Structures are given as structure tokens and as C-alpha cells.
Amino acid sequence: MGLATNAQETLAAGRGSLDSIADWIAANQARLPAGFAVAAAIIGVMLLVRWIGASMRNSDPDCTRLRGVIGRMLAKTGLFFMAATAIDVIATYADVPPKIGRLADIFFTIAFALQGAIWARELILGVIARKVGEDTGESTLANAMSLIRVLVSVTLFAIAIIVILDNLGVNVTALVAGLGIGGIAIGFAAQGIFSDLFAALAILFDRPFRRGDTINYGGKVDGGGTTGTVERIGIKTTRIRARSGELVVMSNAKLLEQELTNIDEASVYRIWLPFGVVYRTDPAQLERMGEIVGAVLKRLKGVRFVRCAVSGFGASSIDFSLVYDDVGKDFDSRALNRSAICIGILKAFKAENIDFAYPTQTTFTAAPDGTLVMPWAPPAVSKPAKT
């Protein structure tokens, strides 16, 4: 008898539930169709947006343009978020019981927080991938992409979980404080690693140099420091092949703290070449010095004469400064041009009887009558021709 009674009670409860559902449907006959229509329309629009996003992403898989970044984000719109949105819309239009309405709101909050984290992650990684796509060959982010993806994902989903817990009524103050203290402790423990990592990202986004560029740091190009070609930009260090052949491994943070000169970014190289001639040089030759030296540079390709003028009076010489532009991109070609200019000037000065100056001291002596005896022979005086 007891089992029969329980079965009858269960059937009665079932019929009561069915009757309640039927009554609820009957009470919302006007609202339910509108709710389902709006929900279907929202799902249709989201599916269309996701399809458009996938097409944009497939047309630009490397995210070299903003179109590819946006497409990558939209293509990650999930069915879970679509279903939660549809259920919440239906619960809004229909007069559902408060508990069911609350469950629908919670379901939508969880779905929206997680979907927002996914969108933000894809947007950030898409922007970074766009920067990577502009580089050819190996780059900083190509090596660090997995680590960056983990850091971005953990951060965004941690924020999403905190938002979900806060909407569920959980006091997240202590959790946020604990995460903040833990983050500070981890930051202090790994500040060296993170400083180099952020420096590597700064190199990527600010682009003071790229892989393959020739740079000088710690001094000027022709006045000290280290000059070499960037071979690899890593997460912590940058490897530079010096002109003398050795490999220089430099911390990213310390490298950015110094003055950097990107030699390859110059479209033309302005070069100063000083020299000095003796004081006995004929003033007419001094006035023609720009013409004499300029003729040497005109015979060389890729070199443009700028000026050659007196820069001052030295202890043993009249000082000149030769300025010219060289369009050569590599150091060896510029060095060969400089050598050719020096040899050409030597030949031109020999033809013009112009002497280079070197450190000398001239002694002047006086005759018994007080007149100076010049330390060089007097100029020859031409004799009149005999008739």
C-alpha cells in the first residue's frame, strides 16, 4: 500500500508540474512568440557576424591589417554565449518564475564574462600578431608567443572569474587583495625577467631596430661604443654580431637604457674628413681647394661633394674640413670610398704641388745686423733674357 501511495503522489506531482507549465505557456501566449523571434534573430545575427569574422580572418591569417585582427576576434564568438543570450531574452519577454529568471541571468553573466575574455584575448593577440606579421624572419614575439598567450589568457580569465563571482554575490575583496599581494611578490621575485620581457616588447612596438639592422650603442658611430648587426631579439637578451666578429649578448633592458644609433635607418651618410696643409701654400691654391677636392669626389659613384673649406689655423697647419655624402648601405663600401677619396686627394695635391702638414717647429735666426734669416731658400728670381 505504501509503494502504491508514493507512486500515486509522484504521478500527481508530475501532472501538477505539467499543468503548471501548460498554465505558464497559456499565460504567455502573446509574449513567447516575440521572445523566440527576438532570440532567433539575435542568434542569426551572431552566426552571420561569426561567419563574416571567419572570412575576414581567412583572407588575412597573419593579421597584417586591422581587418584580420577584427575578423580573428569575431570568429571566436561561441555557441555557448549565443544560447545564453537567447535564453535570457526569452526569460525577459516571458513572465517566468523569479528563480528561473535568476538562473537565466546567472547563465548569461557567466557566458558574457567568458566570451568577453575570449574577445579581449583574441583582440590583444591579433594586435600583437599584426606587429609580428610586419617582420620578416625570426622576431621577438615569434619566440615568445606561447608565453604571451598564457599570460594574457590567465589575466583575462582571472578577471572574468572575479566578475562572475561578484555577480553571484560572493565577496571578492579578499580574493582581489590576495591576488594583488601574490602578483606583487611574483613581480619582485622575477623583476629582472619581466623587465627584459617588457623591454623586448618595447623593442617590438617602438621599433628602434629590427633583426638585420646595424646599430651602435654606448657611443657614437665613429666615436666609441659597440657597432654590430642584430642577429636575434630574444625574450631576455639581444644578440649582436660586432664588426670584429665576436657575438655580443646584451640584456634588453640595459640595451634600451643606452643611446642607440640605427645606422641602417639612414638614407645617406654624411662624413667629415679633416686634413691640413702647410702654411706656405699659395693663397690662390687655398681658394681653389674646394674645386681641387670636389673633382676627386666627382669621379666616384654614390658619393656627393658637399663642401671643403678652411676650418681653422692649427699649430702646424691650415686646417680644412671635407664634408661629403655617401649613399652606401654597408660599412665596407663606405670605407672603400673613403680610401679612394684619400688616395685621390694625395694624387691631386701632388699634381698641384700642395704639401700636407705634419707637426713641425720652424726656427728663425737673426743675422748680426738683426735681420731674420729665413729657414727656407728664397724664391728664384727670373733673369731677363739676353738679346
170 φ, ψ (degrees, to nearest 5): -80, 135
As beta bridge partners, residue 216 has 227, 261
Q: Which helix (H) or strand (E) holds 281?
A: none
Q: Which helix (H) or strand (E) holds 280?
A: none
pLDDT at 8: 45
d(Cα 303, Cα 376) in Å, to the nearest integer?
40
Q: Which three cell numbers stand for residue 89?
A: 531574452
Q: Which three cell numbers stand for residue 270?
A: 654624411
pLDDT at 1: 46
Residue that is written with C-alpha cell 663600401 in the block: 333
CB environment 337-363: b (16+ within 10 A), e (fewer): bbeebeebbeeebeeeebeebeeeeee
3-state secondary structure of 64: coil
Cβ neighbours around 266 below 10 Å, total: 14
d(Cα 61, Cα 70) in Å, to the nearest integer?
11
d(Cα 75, Cα 53) in Å, to the nearest integer?
5
314 φ, ψ (degrees, to nearest 5): -90, 180
Q: Are 247 and 239 in contact (CB under 8 A)?
A: yes
Contacts of 318 (CB under 8 A, 6+ apart): 276, 277, 278, 279, 281, 286, 310, 357
pLDDT at 274: 93
pLDDT at 380: 61
Report the Cα–Cα distance between both ends of the chain, in Å, rounded: 168
pLDDT at 183: 66
Residue that is written with C-alpha cell 681647394 in the block: 289
- pTM of whole model > 0.95? no
pLDDT at 145: 67
pLDDT at 31: 64
Could you tell me the domains of the chain?
25-189 (no CATH), 206-264 (2.30.30.60), 269-352 (3.30.70.100)
Q: Give the residue ranges of DSSP H helices in 134-190.
A: 140-167, 173-189
d(Cα 183, Cα 169) in Å, to the nearest integer?
24
- Provide block-wise average pLDDT over 10 residues at a time, the chain (387 residues): 46 46 57 74 86 84 75 85 82 71 83 88 80 52 67 85 81 72 63 72 79 80 72 84 87 85 82 91 91 92 91 90 88 88 94 87 74 68 58
d(Cα 354, Cα 339) in Å, to the nearest integer?
19
Q: Which helix (H) or strand (E) holds 15?
A: helix 2-27
Cβ neighbours around 35 below 10 Å, total: 19
The dihedral over CA atoms of 217, 219, 225, 227, expressed in degrees to the nearest 10, equals 50
